[in-house]
Amino acid sequence: MIDRSRRALVSDTTDVKLESRLEEQETFEPPKSFVEQANVTNPAIRTEFEENWPECWERAAEFLSWDREYDSVVDAANAPQYEWFTGGRLNASYNCLDRHIEDGAKNRAAIKWEGELGETRTYTYGELLNEVEAFAAALREMGVEAGDVVTLYLPMVPELPIAMLACARLGAPHSVVFAGFSADALATRMQSSDSEYLVTCDGYYRRGEALNHGQKVKNGLRNVDHDVESIVVDRLGDESHLSFGDGTHDYGALVAEHEGTSVPAVSRDAEDVLFLLYTSGTTGQPKGVEHATGGYLSYVAWTAHAVLDLEPTDTHWCTADVGWITGHSYVVYGPLALGATTFMYEGTPDYPDRDRFWKLIEKNRVDVFYTAPTAIRAFMKWGKEYPANHDLSSLRLLGSVGEPIDPHAWKWYYKHIGGEECPVVDTWWQTETGGTMVTTVPGIDTMKPGAAGPALPGIDARVVDADGSPVASGNAGYLVIRNPWPGMLRTLYGNDERFRSEYWGEYSDPDEDEWIYFPEDGAKIDDDGYITVLGRVDDVINVSGHRLGTMEIESAIVDVAGVAEAAVVGADHDVKGEAVYAYVVLKNGEEPTVAMRDRIVESVEDGIGPIARPEKVVFTSELPKTRSDKIMRRLLENIANGEELGDTSTLRNPDAVDTIARQVGDD
């Protein structure tokens, strides 16, 4: 363990000197104390993977126990729907639970949880398996079979990973809907995936207040056309979970009833779907990203080992909500596949005070901490005294994910949370990639704040121009991935065509059977191969690390009576990264009143959720459009950011721009 107790002795003057030294420093070597114990320390690993591709991926598959060995590592016959570890059979729940118990980990903590009000729960691997089996038995009795999609609409409570693992045990793909999403968002996802089962809860706590999740569920279910069987977790400890009406079951009663039932883990084909996770894209409809059992689980286990450096003895805290991919991969499947302890916290970082996270790290002796730049920026704003008052010496590695982290925030994190003794991994990846793709391997790579890092071993990431030719180092271009990898999505639920066009349409050459994945991010690459991700180049914005589709927000706005047209863009925001700016044109005769603004905000909250709430609603008489009638979102972004306006000569209505800019300025 690293001794950082001396940090408290550092005087303020030394601090200022350190601060300015750090600000000038462009690269950082991994701390020696870290390297000495790291999981991956051989720099030759990249060459080894490259020379031995695709067999190198057997190394990922070796992290799992297979019921049947696979016949081939990758099958490209149906590219770009690549198949991984074909012929292999396994069960994800068995890999996350039973086999660790067989290896003697029965009494090791699998999940440690703290509620916002301070209550705690620990599930050992033995206890977790018991509850997963009991719940799987209940689901089975209800009729859930391999292949049935079970929707999980739960906040950060242990029942969420338990339900995920119970589904995995039966071979039923889960579809987790982030609890912060609205009733409409729940209904759309359940409709789209034909999901007839729902696991949810009555409420949960935010800043000390109980949120009425149950009401959202009831509203959502009204818009689902087919019958749904619901199971409700009693989170609030009152009777409200029983008020869901006929056809609903009490989670606690079901688990008690099936306690002690053994449910064999169903052996699944490596290519069988493990889960669906809906995410935002260019159109108004979220897309159901489909991940397969063998490839996904191998990839998250391997990356949790190589990048997060996880050991079975570690307590890992990934602060992401399990409702997003980061939570799936690095709260649940990655850490549990490796037999580590995963820590979950229900609430916000500033409740009851701004040191809640640091208290939790101290109390739980967290080894690896993985969070988002938006949180780091908030911590910086609140001040270094909050972490300084806690013993963070248990930390060994820090991670960042979800959006670009600027060098200033990186260095603050490195110094004030890591005490300059923990490597920081800035991990670039997406819902679609399953696990991290571009980042430093912490035991071998030099860190360059601002740049995520080189591509991981076995990943061929490049930065190209619009024609697909490499861009000169340092110039902006588009990020592309050339070879497939085990954690990649298999398709979009029920829409192979959209899968092909969305990700493989831009740069691939199907006639030559050359497939290139386009993640829709802009990037630049330095001479040393380090990649800086610049952000989305499609109509997706990133608010506090949450991926939102501008079209989805726009469609919620035009649902409001009296609204004629809307355009949504992301404006720079010092904590959230991006904030939602909505430009709205009203129908003739409508007034831009406060009430109208409120209705717009409410409609976005109802359609998507409070995370998509517009920071600013700008009423305007028209939107800037090209002659072919496309809204020029780039100009609206410039206006929102108070930037120089780019070329307006291609506009059909150049005057509109000045008017809008004035309106934003006046507001």
Interacting residues toward ligand PRX by CB under 6 A: 279, 324-326, 401-404, 426-431, 452, 519, 521, 533, 535-536, 542, 547
Shortest CB 656 distance to ligand PRX, Å: 29
| Rounded-to-integer distance, Cα 128 and Cα 456, Å | 32
Cis upstream peptide for 54 (omega within 30°): yes
Q: Which is nearer to ligand PRX, 170 or 452 (CB)?
A: 452
Give the phi and the psi of residue 241 in degrees, each rounded to 5.
Answer: -70, -15
Contact 601, 550 (CB under 8 A): no
Shortest CB 535 distance to ligand PRX, Å: 6
Shortest CB 431 distance to ligand PRX, Å: 3
Shortest CB 665 distance to ligand PRX, Å: 29
Across 135-242, the runs of DSSP E, i.e. the strands, are 150-153, 174-176, 197-201, 203-206, 209-212, 229-233
Contact 283, 500 (CB under 8 A): no
Angle at 272 between CA 268 and CA 275, to 5 degrees: 110
Which pair of tokens denotes residue 628?
Answer: 């072919």
Q: Which is nearer to ligand PRX, 101 or 611 (CB)?
A: 611
Shortest CB 278 distance to ligand PRX, Å: 11
Angle at 398 between CA 397 and CA 401, to 5 degrees: 140
> Of 153, 132, 98, 112, nearest to 254 (Cα)?
132
Strands, sheet with 341-345, edge to edge from the N-terminal-most edge strand = 120-124, 109-114, 341-345, 315-318, 368-371, 397-401, 424-427
Shortest CB 321 distance to ligand PRX, Å: 11
Shortest CB 418 distance to ligand PRX, Å: 17
Contact 477, 471 (CB under 8 A): yes
The per-residue DSSP string of 376-426 comes to HHHHHHH-THHHHTS--TT--EEEEESS---HHHHHHIIIIITTT-S-EEE
| Rounded-to-integer distance, Cα 361 and Cα 389, Å | 12
Shortest CB 324 distance to ligand PRX, Å: 6
Query: How far from chain centre, in Å, is Cα 129?
Result: 25
> Of 299, 360, 391, 281, nearest to 116 (Cα)?
360
Q: Which is nearer to ligand PRX, 178 or 343 (CB)?
A: 178
Q: Which is nearer to ligand PRX, 203 or 402 (CB)?
A: 402
Shortest CB 329 distance to ligand PRX, Å: 8
Q: Which is nearer to ligand PRX, 402 or 443 (CB)?
A: 402
Shortest CB 206 distance to ligand PRX, Å: 21
Q: Which is nearer to ligand PRX, 92 or 543 (CB)?
A: 543
Shortest CB 433 distance to ligand PRX, Å: 8
Across 417-515, the runs of DSSP E, i.e. the strands, are 424-427, 461-464, 476-481, 491-492
Q: Which is nearer to ligand PRX, 98 or 521 (CB)?
A: 521
Contact 344, 297 (CB under 8 A): no
Q: Which is nearer to ligand PRX, 135 or 153 (CB)?
A: 153
Q: Which is nearer to ligand PRX, 88 or 570 (CB)?
A: 570
Q: Which is nearer to ligand PRX, 228 or 534 (CB)?
A: 534
- What is the identity of the amino acid at 428? W
Q: Which is nearer to ligand PRX, 73 or 438 (CB)?
A: 438
Q: Which is nearer to ligand PRX, 195 or 279 (CB)?
A: 279
Q: Which is nearer to ligand PRX, 93 or 303 (CB)?
A: 303
Residue 210 Cα distances to 202, 319, 354, angstroms: 10, 21, 20
138: which residues sit within 8 A by CB, 6+ positions away?
A: 231, 249, 254, 255, 257, 258
Shortest CB 452 distance to ligand PRX, Å: 5
| Rounded-to-integer distance, Cα 204 and Cα 177, Å | 15
For residue 250, the cross-strand partners are 232
Shortest CB 436 distance to ligand PRX, Å: 7
Angle at 176 between CA 174 and CA 177, to 5 degrees: 145
> Of 98, 63, 487, 60, nearest to 267 (Cα)?
98
| Rounded-to-integer distance, Cα 622 and Cα 323, Å | 37
Q: Which is nearer to ligand PRX, 220 or 402 (CB)?
A: 402
Shortest CB 491 distance to ligand PRX, Å: 16
Shortest CB 312 distance to ligand PRX, Å: 24
| Rounded-to-integer distance, Cα 448 and Cα 428, Å | 14
Q: Which is nearer to ligand PRX, 185 or 201 (CB)?
A: 185
CB atoms within 10 A of CB 246: 4
SS3 1: coil
